[in-house]
């Protein structure tokens, strides 16, 4: 009897721990380790939320902060970089600067990811220190206010105001104002491009222009959550993806509205009208993708609540909320761009669509696709691709600012 019980428990445990890792994964065991940790973490969040009767996003925030703090604790020390906190026009920032420099150095504004509602500058301190070291630049990491307590446009405005302050006061921090760029990952990539758009579309004479933008697997739209990458990376199909369709719908709703009351409307593709979808489809068109990524979109599902669709449209078609909603003319005003996308990522296709749109208007864009990697890979230094990607980013910035 004990043998049968042991066998059943072992089978259930193995079934739970099984995660299908793609053959094309460049570092399969590291991908499995990351995936199983995230799976256990997610399940514990759901159980804890049910037991405590707290909102799942509140439990998730605390849980992920503890998890990432654990990883951060074991990250190696980086010598030769000073770290300090400062206040830029009312916005808290964390500054990383080389201890020994000659003359003015380049500057980097960094905006962290986390779905607009989790993580902070400490979470990214190893990455930003490493970037400062490799580029020999001053890095300003912005502690923008988070959703759902602070919905759009508050996080965007925090990042915009801090960036303006740094551009205007760059020399105070031993930085050449003509060699300042902006970078960010995931939700931070969204805020990065939104800030770059704002400064490009509505330039101010007394504020220097950004030299470049670095977009690391950015989230860029909320029109279509049925792009091929979202279909491939849905939690119902696999769990090795760093960012799934459902998670991205949740994050967008928290950022836009401070709640997820409209989750099902977004999931069913009924959050806006058919006319709205067709009007903006050319800006998020999977038909422009290459090879197997290409897809014919379905925009024929009509909403049953036009008033709600009108309210939602006021936010999700704003290019400062969803940068892919910018026109080609507006995209053409952006600074030099370096874009990174990952294969196992719900956000893959919107990044690829941006790349195609930028190439179509002959914009200066360089694109690095990581075919065997997942969303969030630049949070985990134990990946080989982490080092190579940081090196590529550093080389790009050095080339632009030389």
- pLDDT tens column, 289-315: 888 888 888 888 899 899 999 999 999
**pLDDT value of residue 237:** 46
Is the pLDDT at 172 greater than 80, yes or no? yes
Least confident of 10-19, 222-231, 264-273, 369-378: 10-19
Question: What pLDDT band is residue 38 in, cutting at 50, 70 and 90?
Answer: confident
Preceding peptide of 375 cis, ω within 30°:
no
Q: Report yes or no: 107 and 173 within 8 Å, Cβ to Cβ.
A: yes
Numbers of helices and strands, H then E, in the chain: 14, 8
Q: Which of residues 245 and 12 earns the better pLDDT score?
A: 245
Least confident of 44-48, 148-152, 174-178, 210-214: 44-48
Where exactly are the structural domains of the chain?
A: 79-402
Q: What are phi and psi of 27, to 5 degrees?
A: -135, 75
Residue 335: Cβ-neighbour burial (10 angstroms; 0-12, 13-18, 19+): middle
- pLDDT tens column, 52-75: 777 777 777 777 777 766 666 667
Tell me what the pLDDT averaged over the chain comes to: 90
- pLDDT tens column, 124-157: 999 999 999 999 999 999 999 999 999 999 999 9
Would residue 369 show up in a list of annotated catalytic residues for this protein?
A: no
Q: Report yes or no: 191 and 323 within 8 Å, Cβ to Cβ.
A: no
**Catalytic pick from 185, 224, 375, 389?**
375
Least confident of 255-264, 277-286, 368-377: 368-377
Rounded Cα distance between 161 and 374, Å, is 32
Q: 3-state secondary structure string, 263-310?
A: HHHHHCCCCCCHHHHHHHHHHCCHHHCCHHHCCCCCCCCCCCCHHHHH
Sheet containing 138-142, strands listed edge to edge, beginning at the edge strand earlier in sequence = 81-88, 91-98, 138-142, 105-111, 175-185, 212-216, 336-344, 365-374
Would residue 375 show up in a list of annotated catalytic residues for this protein?
A: yes
Would residue 132 show up in a list of annotated catalytic residues for this protein?
A: no
User: Please, what CATH class does the domain formed by 79-402 belong to?
Assistant: alpha beta
Rounded Cα distance between 99 and 138, Å, is 10
**Catalytic pick from 285, 345, 373, 389?**
345
Is the pLDDT at 77 greater than 60, yes or no? yes
From residue 229, alpha-carbon distances to 221, 226, 373, 402 in Å are 13, 8, 13, 36
Is the pLDDT at 238 greater than 60, yes or no? no
Question: What pLDDT band is residue 235 in, cutting at 50, 70 and 90?
Answer: low
**Catalytic pick from 141, 186, 229, 373?**
186
Rounded Cα distance between 129 and 95, Å, is 9
**pTM for the complete prediction?**
0.93
């Amino acid at each position: 009897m004990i043998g049968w019980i042991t066998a059943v428990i072992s089978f259930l445990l193995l079934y739970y721990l099984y995660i299908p890792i793609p053959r094309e994964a460049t570092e399969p065991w590291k991908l499995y380790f990351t995936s199983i940790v995230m799976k256990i973490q997610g399940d514990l969040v759901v159980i804890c939320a049910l037991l405590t009767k707290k909102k799942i996003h509140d439990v998730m925030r605390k849980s992920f902060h503890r998890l990432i703090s654990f990883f951060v604790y074991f990250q190696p020390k980086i010598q030769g970089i000073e770290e300090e906190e400062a206040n830029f026009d009312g916005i808290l920032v964390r500054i990383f600067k080389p201890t020994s420099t000659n003359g003015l150095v380049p500057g980097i504004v960094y905006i962290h990811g986390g779905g607009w509602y989790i993580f902070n500058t400490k979470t990214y301190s190893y990455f930003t220190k490493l970037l400062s070291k490799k580029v020999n630049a001053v890095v300003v990491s912005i502690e923008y206010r988070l959703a759902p307590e602070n919905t759009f446009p508050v996080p965007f405005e925090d990042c915009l105001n801090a960036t303006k302050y740094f551009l205007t006061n760059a020399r105070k921090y031993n930085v050449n104002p003509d060699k300042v760029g902006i970078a960010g990952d995931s939700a931070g990539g969204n805020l990065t491009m939104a800030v770059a758009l704002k400064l490009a579309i509505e330039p101010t004479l007394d504020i220097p222009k950004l030299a470049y933008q670095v977009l690391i697997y950015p989230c860029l739209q909320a029109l279509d959550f049925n792009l091929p990458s979202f279909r491939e990376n849905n939690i119902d199909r696999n769990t090795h993806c760093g960012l799934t369709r459902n998670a991205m719908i949740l994050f967008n709703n928290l950022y836009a509205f401070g709640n997820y009351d409209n989750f099902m409307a977004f999931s069913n593709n009924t959050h806006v009208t058919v006319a709205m979808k067709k009007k903006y489809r050319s800006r998020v068109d999977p038909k422009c993708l290459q090879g197997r990524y290409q897809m014919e979109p379905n925009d024929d599902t009509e909403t049953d609540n036009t008033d709600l669709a009108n309210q939602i449209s006021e936010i999700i078609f704003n290019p400062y909320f969803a940068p892919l909603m910018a026109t080609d003319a507006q995209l053409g005003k952006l600074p030099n761009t370096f874009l990174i996308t990952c294969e196992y990522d719900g956000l893959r296709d919107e990044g690829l669509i941006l790349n195609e749109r930028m190439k179509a208007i002959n914009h200066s864009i360089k694109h690095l696709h990581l075919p065997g990697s997942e969303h969030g890979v630049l949070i985990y230094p134990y990946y080989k691709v982490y080092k190579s990607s940081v090196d590529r980013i550093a080389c790009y910035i050095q080339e632009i600012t030389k």
